[in-house]
Structure 1
Amino acid sequence: MSINDTIYYNKLRTLATIAVITIHASSTLFYHRPIGSESWWIATFFDTIARFGVPIFLMISGALLLPKKEDMKSFYSKRLHRILIPFLLWLTIYYFHNLPVNISLSEKFYRLLNGICSGSSYHLWYIYMLVGIYLAIPAVRIWVQNISTQSIRIILLFWGILLLLRLTNETGKLVKSLNIEFFYYLGYPIAGYYLSILKFHKPHQTIRRFSIAAIIIGILLTLSGTYILSLYKGKTDELFFNCLSPTVALMSSGIFLLFKHIEFKKEKVPGK
């Protein structure tokens, strides 16, 4: 891995972290202001431009993990300590924090089981999804390392079509009823891996322009789609805000490519 690779992954992580914070800071106004009002548009704009946060984290994971040669035991043992133990800790903390005082022992036990299965707090959905991704990584790694880049391109094209179909009402219901959203998220690590190994025969400046165009188009489509759909339904709708929205996938891919083709200078450590 080159120095520029390490730097741009770190820059992307920082940007994605800020994006996730921005989403949580703006979501209150987005859901509780009249559609089309000034405050609604401000919240919607910031919410839109920050929607790449989770996809970028998954793309970085794919770019870093899928090229590796690593046995399953080593892979899973590392993730066990980094994710599972902290996850169980916070699952327990949220469980007791949200637990009513005056309920029976059987009700407490039921709530504990329900919290383990569905999450004791809404934002823990990311950990459930991430655990599923990591369980699949060793198999996906073997797969992508033994097929051509053209085959990966076809797979990502098919994934993009699935994301488009997910916008339709019937497909969206089917995905939720079958609980197969996890498989949709697998597209991001594969996309990150593909974009990280992709070699262009054009100047970096041309790729940067293409990336910026993809980002702008993704933002405009997400904004307009959210506004039109919210007006149609008479209430704020976040279909285009979802991580699995094709417009968010387009924006996220553009940001990943843009950072890949920026020549970052090696950061100097103070005192060295």
Structure 2
Amino acid sequence: MTKSKKYYFMCLNAIASSFAVVVAHTITNPAQLGITKIGPTFYVILCIVLGIVFSFGVPIFFMQSGANILNYRERYDTKTFFIKRIHKVVIPFIIWSIFGFFFIYGKSDFSLTLKSFITTFLSGSIVGPYWFFYNIIGFYLCVPFISLIIKYASRNIIKYTILVLLVVNTGIPIINILTKSQSLFSTSFPFIGPYAQYFIAGWYFAHNDISRRTHKQIYILGIIMLFFEIIATIYFSFYVKQLPGLNYPGGIVKTFFDIAMLPSFCVMCALFLIFKQTEPKLQKSDSFRKYLAQGAGLTFGIYLLHPFIITWLLVPFNNYLTTLPLLIKMVIDPIFVYLLSGVITFLIRKMKYLRWLMP
């Protein structure tokens, strides 16, 4: 990747992959805010809207990962690729999962044994937000052969690959829900995960010139799909109760804004291109790029730490905010979690023997 394309990636890191994720995990679940009655009230609808608007954190990171990694053969061999991924992602993920097992999951009566750790680790139930790592590691394992498609295939073949992924990952699940059936086609395609389209689309948009007309079409489609997600989620959550799957706690229907679905994919593509369009402006400000690089460097640590901050410190912190309106607390909470996670990450990265925990 050329140097000119790195700055908007840093911006995506600092905003999408950290702050959006923190917002999604702090103020988008009504029950987490103390709202026990789920209905079409102001705060419940606000939680839904915020959940949809800030759902871009992980998908944008997937797109950025694809853009950065799928051409790794231009920089180093496959062995080096895996060594880098193991040190930067796999080892910290395992270490922080062990930490979470003892200090979060271990607070329950569950027996703290090796067997119980393996069971909970494989099921992804130790630290909820860490579900992302299972998907990204699966992507890493597929990168050596996907990178060959990227390197040698034509643009049409790459677009065809994205189309197949969209049909399998976003079309068939909707048909299954509407028909209350389970199509065998959903499991008949090898090497297709529910988020694979993000990785390849991220590479495609980052490394190919998109015409101005196509930009506008994607932006318009993204806006339409964003409103569709919001309206359909509210409508089917509170006024139509026939959908059987993809529900949030309290009966909020997630079907239309789940990040594996087509509407979300359209929104993410539009957002990715918006950030890409800011690249010329980002290159003009040396001071901004300096702070942007520092902020982007804290992204991975914030993702690792924020579940622990939410579990241990958010409730005690909110005890000091009991007199404030809920709307103000919804503004303060994600900022508190984000900044504290960032500060702790920054301090750990300064420690000689611990910095490897926050690569």
Normalising by structure 2, we get a TM-score of 0.66
Is contact 1:133-1:182 (8 Å) kept? no
Instruction: Report how far residue 131 of structure 1 moved.
Output: 0.8
Matches within 5 A, 1:178-257: 183-202=193-212, 209-231=216-238, 232-233=240-241, 235-257=251-273
Instruction: Report how far residue 77 of structure 1 moved.
Output: 0.4
Instruction: Report how far residue 181 of structure 1 moved.
Output: 10
Letter of the 2:22 counterpart: I
C-alpha distance in 1, partners of 2:145/2:110?
A: 44
C-alpha distance in 1, partners of 2:108/2:51?
A: 36
C-alpha distance in 1, partners of 2:78/2:30?
A: 44
| Corresponding residue of 1:269 | 287
| Corresponding residue of 1:115 | 120
Letter of the 2:206 counterpart: S
Letter of the 2:9 counterpart: Y
Deviations 1:148-174 (A, max 9, x none): 101111221222222122123256787
**Identical-residue share of aligned pairs (%):** 23
Aligned length: 265
Q: Secondary structure at the match of 1:184?
A: coil
Matches within 5 A, 1:138-177: 138-162=144-168, 163-167=170-174, 168-169=176-177, 170=180
Instruction: Report how far residue 210 of structure 1 moved.
Output: 3.6
| Corresponding residue of 2:70 | 66
Structure 2 unaligned segments of length 5 or more: list them: 243-250, 291-359
Letter of the 1:214 counterpart: L
Letter of the 2:8 counterpart: Y
Is contact 1:23-1:51 (8 Å) kept? yes
| Corresponding residue of 2:14 | 14
Residue 144 to residue 177, structure 1, CA distance change in 2 (3 Å): closer
User: Which one of 49, 54, 57 corresponds to residue 50 of structure 1?
Assistant: 54
Instruction: Report how far residue 100 of structure 1 moved.
Output: 5.6
1:75 lines up with 2:81 in the alignment? yes
C-alpha distance in 1, partners of 2:24/2:182?
A: 23
Instruction: Report how far residue 67 of structure 1 moved.
Output: 2.0
> Which has the larger displacement, 164-173 or 77-86?
164-173
Is contact 2:64-2:199 (8 Å) kept? yes
Q: Secondary structure at the match of 2:252?
A: coil
Residue 111 to residue 72, structure 1, CA distance change in 2 (3 Å): same
